[in-house]
């Protein structure tokens, strides 16, 4: 087996040193009955070319988004990633390192985390950010748990414009912590009244920008209402490219910003792994979950970085930790950070402008189709449409024409008949004018 | 020999590198984009009018920046990484290549299911391997990492207790030697934690465990017992079947922490040990890369009693193809406790793990656990010449030493670890498990050659002799001297946290700058 370097003679020599007759003898503490009954119906070792054949065949059974005009979003976005980004994250020194517990020989990872923390703080308009969470949905649950700890309150109000997976994951996790999560009905038209519902029992209100149905909203008044009631405002961001163009949550008064960095961090990969973003105010630092890299100096006075404030974390604080997270999304955070570095201020804002302009181009055409209503007035690169017929069937009919024409809201809300005709469409810089022509033409056919 | 000083601060191949924010050329970018079509913006007055504060760099400068950073890292590609309980084994590049196939990488979680049958087959293939290897009834694929898998297991357990009218059970028993994630997870699940002591031979004190399992004031309050097996001392819990029986007799569930599953994979089925739930770190046992901290994946195998409560999504077979149950409360997810992760789990990690499983085969996996245990016992045997093993062998996949061999030398476990850095190896895990004084926990893994182990042994034996000689304390305290940095001041980092770059005072442009005062 090519991954195993010991030869048979090595094994014999080593057993001699140990004073054991066989490798099996080293497993003598395992229950004999369990050893005897172990039978496995599984394939035996395979060569590289065989594995590659099998998996390539499996992969080819999927319609990949590069092979069809694709307008899918709903929290997961197809963007172009520069070749140098994937090259950098495949360098073995990044790919095959562990968590930087020995800082003298982990300065590369630590400095990259410090830069990532700064970038996340800058684009969200917040003071500090951590080294990453698993994904946006789990970051949202952690944000609500943190708000509950900070306010010592046990309920949360979640907008109907929050991604349903973020809402579901938060509701699941909070159920086990006895925090009541009040989820408002899905809000495709963007008319819900949150301010009128805030009470002084809420730890936080959770909203999203851009919203799940595409709406852009000013949350400044909501933040003020939250603070007046002693609650915190948690803002989710599922499409961070938007932050190159729109007012960041921190400028609207957000206390905690959580999000998903996948859209800037590489392939969609069927939804995972992504990278959870988590930013907040400096004054909430001690209740923050997750790792943090901090600046310091070494014995020669040279600048360097270490993991710090780990008294918040499970390996020190055990059951009193702010979270149980250990492994996070280090490599995807590096991908995110590398891409942000490649873009810079100029590239990031231009990328966002291009996305928005492409989306407006599509919106202007589809809203003219008979029976179609564009739901958000203001949006970034994604918007909900109300169609004259069920969106799930429309998407299937488009797929039959080799167009991945958006995500039907019924995929998330199968029990809401009023959402049956709602379709989410996303346009990014990966779409061409020809893609948009193809989608509009196909939609005309399918809807007629 | 003293280190020459240089004008640049560089030392040959050790190149100093500033922060990207210090390399800023305003307006520069490494990404050229096609022009945007001219449209009337529809941002509803929410256009950001302020600068963000991101630096501008060209592509060559970015590539050089990260290349230089990478060269300040130790990695499994570059050398021996015997970090106990972390399983730093070789990461085959085939796995990376497979994860980047467009049919796996460039697919969206909400494409029509008819267009992603290959992806569902991949998830199902991974699930079938895990179920067959463990003999368990079901596997929840969505947990994102080990600690997340623990949470999945305990959520299933709590849901099962509530369904059975046992919701009053609020205590989880965890051995003192457990990873910190175990008690932290129990707390996140709304449980309180009671610690179980270890016996002198490094295993769970079964008598103490049974005493905890007795009803208190006529009420049974124990919900579950979480035991890492092989445990964090690198020993197999010989009594695990008796423990499982006692736990079940008390109406509680047996959670086995699978962080060390790589030591026993393809040798026995954990179902035969009476386990109710166990997470499997794909980034350890199945060799997906650690990536400087993640991502991982922590699928959780479940017994028949817990399977009905598993989280969504679940891939299910439908006719000749696959379907996904995405909503709790329906079909096979009738009793599911809900969703704990977005989308379909860590799909890209599943692809890498399946590539590894297929390459190894069941025979290769058995050889791997054998070689991992052989390598650890070889270290235990050879290092015992100068070091003091914490427990009698044989060990499983890792060997733990205490610091008795350093007694009276003035040299600590930390000093030994830092001196090993100058020897060119990554130090073992230090001061864990907590039950071993001054612990050095070494996990060589199966992907190291005898020559690599011999070189490590020679380095460590030589350091131990130096420490005992009583003449080298200053050298130890000063180490490492040859790494990109010497010892870093962690107290300073924690006392006055600097967690982000801030522009020099006086420059007040960008999202973050107005917060400068608050952050200082």
Per-residue pLDDT of B88-145, as tens digits, reads: 999 999 999 999 999 999 999 999 999 999 999 999 999 999 999 999 999 999 999 9
Q: What is the pLDDT of residue B518?
A: 35
What ipTM did this prediction achieve? 0.98
> Higher confidence at residue B518 or residue A395?
A395
Residue B326 located in a structural domain: yes
My answer on whether B271 and B398 are in the same domain is no
Whose CA is closest to A249, among A120, A346, A132? A120
Q: What is the pLDDT of residue B95?
A: 98
pLDDT, mean of residues A176-188? 97
Sequence-distant (6+) residues with CB within 8 A of B4 are: none
Q: What is the pLDDT of residue B4?
A: 81
Whose CA is closest to B177, among B428, B437, B435, B429? B435
- The Cα–Cα gap between A394 and B483 comes to 60
Let me know: does A315 contact B180? Beta carbons within 8 Å. yes
Residue B424 touches chain A, beta carbons under 8 Å: no
My answer on whether A220 and A253 are in the same domain is yes
My answer on whether B161 and B203 are in the same domain is yes
Report chain B residues whose CB lies below 8 A from the CB of A165: 339, 342-343
Q: What is the pLDDT of residue B217?
A: 83
My answer on whether B336 and B414 are in the same domain is no
Whose CA is closest to B232, among B85, B354, B129, B355? B85
Look at residues B304, B321, B356 and tell me which one is the last residue of a structural domain.
B356
Residue B515 located in a structural domain: no
DSSP string of B253-279, one letter each residue: EEEEEGGGGGGTTTT--GGGGT-SEEE
- The Cα–Cα gap between A437 and A443 comes to 10
CB contact under 8 Å between A363 and B311, yes or no, is no
CATH of the domain at B465: 3.90.1150.10
Domain count, chain B: 2
Q: What is the pLDDT of residue A311?
A: 87
Q: What is the pLDDT of residue A316?
A: 86
- The Cα–Cα gap between A282 and A84 comes to 34
Q: What is the pLDDT of residues A267-302, one digit of tens each?
A: 999 999 999 999 999 999 999 999 999 999 999 999
Which ranges of chain B have pLDDT less than 70?
Answer: 1, 506-520
My answer on whether A235 and A355 are in the same domain is no
Report chain A residues whose CB lies below 8 A from the CB of B269: 34, 37-38, 40
Residue A28 located in a structural domain: no
My answer on whether A190 and A98 are in the same domain is yes
My answer on whether B350 and B399 are in the same domain is no
Residue A2 located in a structural domain: no
Q: Which residues of B351-386 are buried (b: 16+ CB within 10 A; e: fewer)?
A: bbbbbbbbbbbbebbbbbbbbbbbbbbbbbbbbeeb
Which of A134, A177, A210, A424 to substitute to test the interface with B, most B CBs within 10 Å? A134
Look at residues B335, B356, B377 and tell me which one is the last residue of a structural domain.
B356
Burial class (CB in 10 A: 0-12, 13-18, 19+), B71: middle
Q: What is the pLDDT of residue B37?
A: 96
Residue in chain B closest to A311 (alpha carbons) equals B494
Look at residues A277, A305, A339 and tell me which one is the last residue of a structural domain.
A339
Report chain A residues whose CB lies below 8 A from the CB of B133: 40, 42
Let me know: does A231 contact B310? Beta carbons within 8 Å. no
Q: What is the pLDDT of residue B514?
A: 39
Q: What is the pLDDT of residue B507?
A: 57
Residue A33 located in a structural domain: no
Q: Which domain holds residue A204?
A: 83-339
pLDDT, mean of residues A347-365? 98
Please give the structure tokens belonging to residue B226: 């979480």
My answer on whether A334 and A394 are in the same domain is no
Q: What is the pLDDT of residues A232-270, one digit of tens each?
A: 999 999 999 999 999 999 999 999 999 999 999 999 999
My answer on whether B145 and B288 are in the same domain is yes
My answer on whether B271 and B374 are in the same domain is no
My answer on whether A354 and A278 are in the same domain is no
CATH of the domain at A135: 3.40.640.10
CATH of the domain at A382: 3.90.1150.10
Question: Among residues 237-276 of chain B, which lie with CB inside 8 Å of chain A?
Answer: 238, 240-241, 264, 266-269, 272-273
**SS3 at position A405:** coil
Q: What is the pLDDT of residue B504?
A: 86
Residue B105 located in a structural domain: yes
Residue A54 located in a structural domain: no
My answer on whether B288 and B402 are in the same domain is no
Look at residues B329, B356, B383 and tell me which one is the last residue of a structural domain.
B356
Residue B53 located in a structural domain: no
Q: How far is B5 from chain A (nearest CA, A)?
A: 12
My answer on whether A108 and A127 are in the same domain is yes
Residue B75 located in a structural domain: no
Q: Which domain holds residue B172?
A: 96-356
Sequence-ordered alpha helix ranges (H) in B46-174: 59-70, 93-99, 102-105, 117-134, 146-163
Sequence-distant (6+) residues with CB within 8 A of A18 are: A26, B374, B377, B378, B380, B381, B393, B394
Q: What is the pLDDT of residue B1?
A: 60
Domain count, chain A: 2
My answer on whether B311 and B337 are in the same domain is yes
My answer on whether A155 and A217 are in the same domain is yes
Look at residues A276, A306, A339 and tell me which one is the last residue of a structural domain.
A339
- Which backbone phi and psi does A307 adopt, to 5 degrees? -75, 135
Q: What is the pLDDT of residue B512?
A: 46
My answer on whether B410 and B479 are in the same domain is yes
CB contact under 8 Å between A4 and B338, yes or no, is no
My answer on whether B241 and B294 are in the same domain is yes
DSSP 8-class letter at B217: T
């Amino acid at each position: 087996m090519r991954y195993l370097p010991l030869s048979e003679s090595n094994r014999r020599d080593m057993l001699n040193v140990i004073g054991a007759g066989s490798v099996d003898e080293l497993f003598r503490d395992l229950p004999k009955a369990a050893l005897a009954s172990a039978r496995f119906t599984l394939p035996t070792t395979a060569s590289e070319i065989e594995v590659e054949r099998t998996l390539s065949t499996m992969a080819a059974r999927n319609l990949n988004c590069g092979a069809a005009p694709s307008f899918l979003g709903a929290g997961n976005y197809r963007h172009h990633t520069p070749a140098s980004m994937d090259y950098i994250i495949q360098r073995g020194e990044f790919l095959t390192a562990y968590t930087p517990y020995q800082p003298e020989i982990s300065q590369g990872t630590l400095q990259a985390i410090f830069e990532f923390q700064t970038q996340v703080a800058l684009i969200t308009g917040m003071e500090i950010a951590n080294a990453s969470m698993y994904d946006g949905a789990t970051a949202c649950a952690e944000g609500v748990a943190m708000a509950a700890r900070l306010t010592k309150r046990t309920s949360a109000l979640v907008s109907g414009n929050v991604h349903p997976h973020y809402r579901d994951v938060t509701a699941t996790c909070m159920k086990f912590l006895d925090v009541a999560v009040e989820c408002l009905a899905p809000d495709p038209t963007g008319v819900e009244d949150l301010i009128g519902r805030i009470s002084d029992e809420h730890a936080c209100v959770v909203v999203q920008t851009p919203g799940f149905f595409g709406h852009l909203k000013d949350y400044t008044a909501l933040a003020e209402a939250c603070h007046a009631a002693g609650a915190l405002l948690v803002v989710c961001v599922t499409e961070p490219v938007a932050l190159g163009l729109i007012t960041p949550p921190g400028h609207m008064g957000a206390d905690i910003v959580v999000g998903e960095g996948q859209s800037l961090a590489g392939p969609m990969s069927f939804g995972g792994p992504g990278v959870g973003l988590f930013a907040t105010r400096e004054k909430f630092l001690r209740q923050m979950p997750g790792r943090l890299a901090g600046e310091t100096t070494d014995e020669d006075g040279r600048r360097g970085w270490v993991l710090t404030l780990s008294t918040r974390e499970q390996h020190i604080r055990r059951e009193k930790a702010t979270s149980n997270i250990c492994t996070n999304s280090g490599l995807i955070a590096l991908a995110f950070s590398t891409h942000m570095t490649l873009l810079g201020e100029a590239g990031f804002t231009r990328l966002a402008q291009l996305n928005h302009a492409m989306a407006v181009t599509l919106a202007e055409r589809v809203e003219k189709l008979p029976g179609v209503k564009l739901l958000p007035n203001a949006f970034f690169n994604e918007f909900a449409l109300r169609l004259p017929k069920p969106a799930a069937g429309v998407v299937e009919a488009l797929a039959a024409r080799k167009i991945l024409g958006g995500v039907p809201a019924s995929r998330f809300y199968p029990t809401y008949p009023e959402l049956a005709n709602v379709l989410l469409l996303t346009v990014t810089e990966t779409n061409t004018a020809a893609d948009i022509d193809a989608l509009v033409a196909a939609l005309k056919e399918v809807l007629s | 020999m003293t280190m020459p000083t240089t004008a640049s601060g560089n030392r040959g191949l050790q190149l100093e590198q500033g922060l990207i924010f210090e390399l800023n050329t305003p307006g520069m970018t490494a990404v050229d984009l096609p022009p945007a079509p001219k449209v009337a913006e529809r941002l509803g007055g929410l256009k950001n009018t302020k600068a963000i504060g991101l630096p501008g760099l060209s592509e060559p400068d970015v590539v050089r920046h990260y290349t230089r950073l990478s060269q300040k890292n130790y990695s499994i590609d570059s050398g021996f990484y015997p970090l106990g309980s972390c399983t730093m084994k070789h990461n085959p590049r085939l796995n990376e290549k497979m994860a980047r196939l467009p049919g796996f990488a460039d697919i969206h979680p909400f494409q029509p299911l008819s267009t992603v049958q290959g992806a569902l087959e991949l998830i199902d293939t991974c699930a079938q391997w895990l179920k067959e290897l463990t003999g368990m009834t079901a596997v929840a694929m969505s947990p994102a990492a080990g600690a997340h898998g623990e949470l999945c297991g305990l959520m299933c357990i709590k849901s099962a207790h509530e369904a059975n009218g046992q919701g009053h059970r609020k205590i989880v028993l965890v051995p003192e030697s457990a990873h910190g994630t175990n008690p932290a997870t129990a707390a996140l699940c709304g449980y309180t934690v009671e610690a179980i002591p270890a016996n002198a031979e490094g295993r769970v004190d079964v008598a103490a465990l049974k005493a905890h399992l007795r009803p208190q004031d006529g009420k049974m309050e124990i919900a579950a017992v979480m035991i890492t097996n092989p445990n964090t001392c690198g020993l197999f819990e010989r009594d695990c079947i008796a423990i499982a029986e006692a736990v079940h007799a008390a109406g509680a569930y047996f959670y086995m922490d699978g962080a060390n599953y790589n030591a026993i994979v393809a040798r026995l089925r954990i179902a035969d040990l009476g386990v109710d739930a166990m997470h499997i770190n794909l980034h350890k046992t199945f060799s997906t890369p650690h990536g400087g901290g993640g991502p991982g994946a922590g699928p959780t195998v479940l017994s028949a009693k817990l399977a009905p409560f598993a989280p969504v999504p679940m891939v299910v077979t439908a006719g000749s193809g696959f379907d996904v149950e995405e909503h709790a409360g329906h079909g096979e997810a009738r009793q599911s406790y809900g969703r704990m992760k977005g989308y379909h789990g860590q799909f890209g990690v599943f692809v890498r793990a399946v590539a590894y499983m297929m390459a190894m085969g069941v025979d290769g996996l058995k050889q791997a656990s054998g070689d991992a245990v052989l390598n650890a016992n070889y270290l235990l045997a050879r290092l015992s010449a100068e070091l003091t093993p914490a427990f009698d062998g044989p060990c499983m996949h890792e060997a733990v030493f205490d610091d008795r061999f350093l007694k009276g030398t003035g040299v600590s476990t930390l000093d030994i670890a830092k001196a090993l850095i100058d020897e060119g190896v990554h130090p073992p895990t230090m001061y864990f498990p907590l039950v071993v004084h001054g612990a050095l926990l070494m996990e060589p893994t199966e992907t190291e050659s005898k020559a690599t182990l011999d070189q490590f042994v020679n380095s460590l034996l030589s350091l131990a002799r130096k420490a005992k000689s009583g003449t080298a304390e200053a050298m130890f305290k000063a180490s490492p001297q040859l790494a990109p940095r010497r010892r870093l001041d962690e107290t300073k980092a924690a006392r006055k946290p600097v967690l982000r770059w801030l522009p020099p005072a006086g420059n007040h442009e960008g999202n973050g700058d107005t917060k400068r005062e608050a952050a200082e």
